Chains A and B, each alone.
Chain A
Amino acid sequence: MDFLNGITLLLIYQLVGEVSVLMLPIPIPGPVLGMVLLFLTLLAHGRSTASLESASTALLSHLSLLFVPAGVGLIVHFERIAQEWIAISLALVLSTGITMATVAAMMHIATRYLSGKT
């Protein structure tokens, strides 16, 4: 029952997020707003519940699976990829590496100076 209650609550927050995004001029996706709202609720409530934890563990421990259908979508773009694969691969590899290194370096420096951490 825990899992069912948890997933229901997650879906309710997603629904509230999606509807708010449709009604208000907020340029962010519904699930992201739902996450922000749930986070604020947990902050206000002061603790999380067993049912939410059971549903989130179930979903997040198989997170990779959820990307598979989108990944198979590559099949639709074979032609474009065949033509532009050099530019696409270089852009993906280089910019992923650069982004990751920059964020790690900035976090490293910022935590040292801002949080007085060694």
Chain B
Amino acid sequence: MDNPDLAAIWVYLSTSPLLGLTITLVAYSMAHKLYVYARYNPAFNPVVTSVTGLISILLLTDTSYESYFEGAQFVHFLLGPATVALAIPLYQQISKLKRLWVSVLLSLTAGVAISSLCTVFIARLFGASLQTQLSLAPKSVTAPVAMGISEQIGGLPSLTAAVVVITGILGAVLGPKLFKLMRIQDDSIKGVAMGVSAHGIGTARAFQVSSEMGAFSGLAMALSALASALIVPWLLSAIGILQ
């Protein structure tokens, strides 16, 4: 950057939201091409490759996350309407849902409780600090909701956002293998398990399998977000982690 004109352009770009937004979209579209090229090999999950790429770029150019987020927030913002949009695939599965709703409610309530308790206990067992334990507790819940819960119970919302993404990727990668191992073939069952444990990233993976699996995953993700917001803070104070 010793050319003064280039330096001036860089200063302009690094303070405008345009750059952060554009590199996010470019990184994702390249990551998605790579994923298709790798024949949907889970190791090339586009969220992993684009996040890795973007972090490297930020580190190399010495850009702060705050200035990157100035632009990336426009993408992040869409999580809100996307959450509302889940009502539509859910509605399209209404006849199947009417038949299965008792099973779905039972399984996802158990799932929400087990997910947060297991996470906190394992993290505590291996010596994580209390604040880390609390930030990890809502890790299976969709990002905007998980961040809200984390803030409410005294975790770090931004750490929660990051572990939520990692959890989603883990679920999307492990899920299909686990279901094969358990010999589960029903797409509605796979969808619910995916949505409860791996929220939107799992749901995105589920939509690649079938629209039925996607709809149930979306349903389970939405209902477990609701259930987690109600249960998790209460559960953690019941077992004495929160005073």
* With A70-B76, A99-B114, A104-B190 as contacts: A48 and B84 at CB distance below 8 Å: no
Q: Indicate if A23 sits at the interface (CB-CB under 8 A).
A: no
Q: Taking chain B's interface residues, is the majority helix, strand, or loop, or is none over half, making it mixed?
A: helix
Point out the residue from A43, A88, A99, A100 that lies within 8 Å of B163, measured CB to CB.
A88
Residues of chain A with a CB closer than 8 A to B91's CB: 39, 42-43, 48
Residues of chain A with a CB closer than 8 A to B81's CB: 7, 10-11, 14, 31, 55, 59
Residues 11-34 of A at the B interface (beta carbon under 8 Å)? 11, 13-14, 17, 27-32, 34
* Distance from B109 Cβ to chain A, minimum over Cβ atoms (Å): 10
Contact call B87/A90, Cβ cutoff below 8 A:
no
In the complex, A71 Cα to B192 Cα: how many Å? 24
Residues of chain B with a CB closer than 8 A to A74's CB: 51, 55, 162, 165
Q: Taking chain A's interface residues, is the majority helix, strand, or loop, or is none over half, making it mixed?
A: helix
Contact call B83/A35, Cβ cutoff below 8 A:
yes
Residues of chain B with a CB closer than 8 A to A66's CB: 75-76, 78-79, 82, 200
Q: Indicate if B161 sits at the interface (CB-CB under 8 A).
A: yes
Residue of A71, A75, A93 most packed against chain B (CB within 10 A): A71
How many chain B residues touch A (CB < 8 A): the figure is 110
Residues of chain A with a CB closer than 8 A to B25's CB: 65
Q: Indicate if A2 sits at the interface (CB-CB under 8 A).
A: no
Point out the residue from B24, B59, B76, B184 that lies within 8 Å of A75, measured CB to CB.
B59
* Distance from B200 Cβ to chain A, minimum over Cβ atoms (Å): 5
Contact call B107/A91, Cβ cutoff below 8 A:
no
Point out the residue from B89, B162, B163, B174 that lies within 8 Å of A97, measured CB to CB.
B174
Segment at the interface with A among B4-12, B36-44, B92-100, B235-243: B92-100
* With A61-B207, A69-B72, A71-B51 as contacts: A32 and B171 at CB distance below 8 Å: no
Contact call B197/A39, Cβ cutoff below 8 A:
no
In the complex, A53 Cα to B198 Cα: how many Å? 24
Q: Indicate if A60 sits at the interface (CB-CB under 8 A).
A: yes
* Distance from A115 Cβ to chain B, minimum over Cβ atoms (Å): 6
Contact indicator per residue, chain A 76-118, by CB within 8 Å of chain B (1) or not (0): 1100100010111011111111111111111110110011000
**20 sampled A-B residue pairs with Cβ under 8 A:** A11-B84, A31-B79, A31-B83, A34-B80, A35-B84, A38-B88, A56-B85, A67-B168, A70-B161, A71-B50, A72-B72, A74-B55, A77-B158, A91-B122, A92-B163, A94-B118, A94-B122, A99-B114, A103-B220, A105-B182
Chain B residues with a Cβ under 8 A of chain A: 24-25, 27-28, 45-47, 50-51, 54-55, 58-59, 65, 68-69, 72-73, 75-76, 78-92, 94, 99-100, 102-104, 106-108, 110-111, 114-115, 118-120, 122-123, 125-129, 132, 136, 139-140, 143-145, 148, 152, 156, 158-159, 161-168, 170-171, 174-175, 178-179, 182, 184, 186, 188-190, 192-194, 196-198, 200-201, 203-204, 207, 214, 218, 220, 222, 225-226, 229-230, 233
